[in-house]
Amino acid sequence: MQAFIVEHYGKKNALKQADMPIPELRDDEVLIQVHAAGVNLLDSKVRDGEFKLILPYRTPFILGHDVAGVVAKIGPRVRQFKVGDEVYSRPDDFRIGTFAEFVPVKESSVALKPKNITMEEAASIPLVALTVWQALVAKGNLQKGQKVFIQAGSGGVGTFAIQLAKHLGATVATTTSTSNVAWVKSLGADIVIDYKKDDFEKVLSGYDLVLNSQDGETLEKSLNVLKPGGKLISISGPADLAFAEEIKAPWFVKQVIRALSFGTRRKAKRLHVDFSFLFMRANGSQLQQITSLIESGVIRPVVDKVFPFESTNEALAYVKNGRAKGKVVIKVR
């Protein structure tokens, strides 16, 4: 099969298109014939080596964290899916590899594709949708009437988070550039701050929850918009000690994580707010709940651009550039 692989870690190292064997199917996995694959900032960070401490992939390996396609084969222990099913998934860590013609995925991480959207739209959903679901619902426990600040409203995570937060009955504030203000409001945002003109820290206060997806400076400022007892959940770091325990990190990695998050944890404690880091986990049953929201029209996928399979490197560069409105997808089949 054709696939795009990371031969060597590094920012300047393009993915290499190569002929690879179809990965062996484990008993509890389905083999998905890939029709489309979502492209995420996580992909370029993994390629660049930024996650080597917590995700030490051995090169060469196939990149890609989002898939939509058709079940081509099932393992002997698989019960929920059959050959021919249209499915989508965010494969588990250490079993990624959706920039390829086939990818094996654990049955428990797969869901049936929403019937009312295309393969390309479906491929745009799993990673961002699960990230948002786990941040706002599972970890943040966002309730009707609460106020949530979602950074970067026009990005892949932002566009999904705004729609889900509105569905949950929250008041939603977000940031975006001048040209996207009206569009982000159309997704459901109540307060849209043009970051080129205004500082969100001076506009917002008394928030229950912040979803942080930006840099360290933005995170520091975001702690100030929370009310006492409020929560900041960061998906862009720094990792916290709970995460280090969760991944059973070695002692030296725990010390690095402790040091990197020290300043943020200290400031959060001083402000009487809660800081935590979220590294999204593959989860088929949560994805099935998201399918229901998409099929009922509550949430619509936002796809900025679809690249052909052979232009995978261009797609990755486009995402890293940070200008995408919504998600970027590779059409494999």
Architecture of domain 2-124+301-331: Alpha-Beta Complex (3.90)
Any bridge partners for residue 70, and if so which? 33, 86
* DSSP of 188-242: T-SEEEETTT--HHHH--SEEEEEE-S-HHHHHHHHTTEEEEEEEEESSS---HH
Q: What are phi and psi of 184, to 5 degrees?
A: -65, -35
For domain 128-277, say whether CATH 3.90.245.10 is its number: no
Element (H, E) at 126: helix 126-132
Q: What is the DSSP string of 132-178?
A: HIIIIIIIT---TT-EEEES-TTBHHHHHHHHHHHHTT-EEEEEE-G
Q: Is 183:154 a contact under the CB 8 Å cutoff?
A: yes
Statement: the pTM of the whole predicted model exceeds 0.95:
yes
Q: What is the pLDDT along the chain (333 residues), one digit of tens a residue?
A: 999 999 999 998 999 999 999 999 999 999 999 999 999 999 999 999 999 988 999 999 999 999 999 999 999 999 999 999 999 999 999 999 999 999 999 999 999 999 999 999 999 999 999 999 999 999 999 999 999 999 999 999 999 999 999 999 999 999 999 999 999 999 999 999 999 999 999 999 999 999 999 999 999 999 999 999 999 999 998 999 999 999 899 999 999 999 999 999 999 999 999 999 999 999 999 999 999 999 999 999 999 999 999 999 999 999 999 889 999 999 999
Question: At 113, phi and psi to the nearest 5?
Answer: -65, 140
* CA 52/CA 87 separation, integer angstroms: 30
Residue ranges covered by each domain of the chain: 2-124+301-331, 128-277
Chain centroid, CA 173 distance in Å = 20
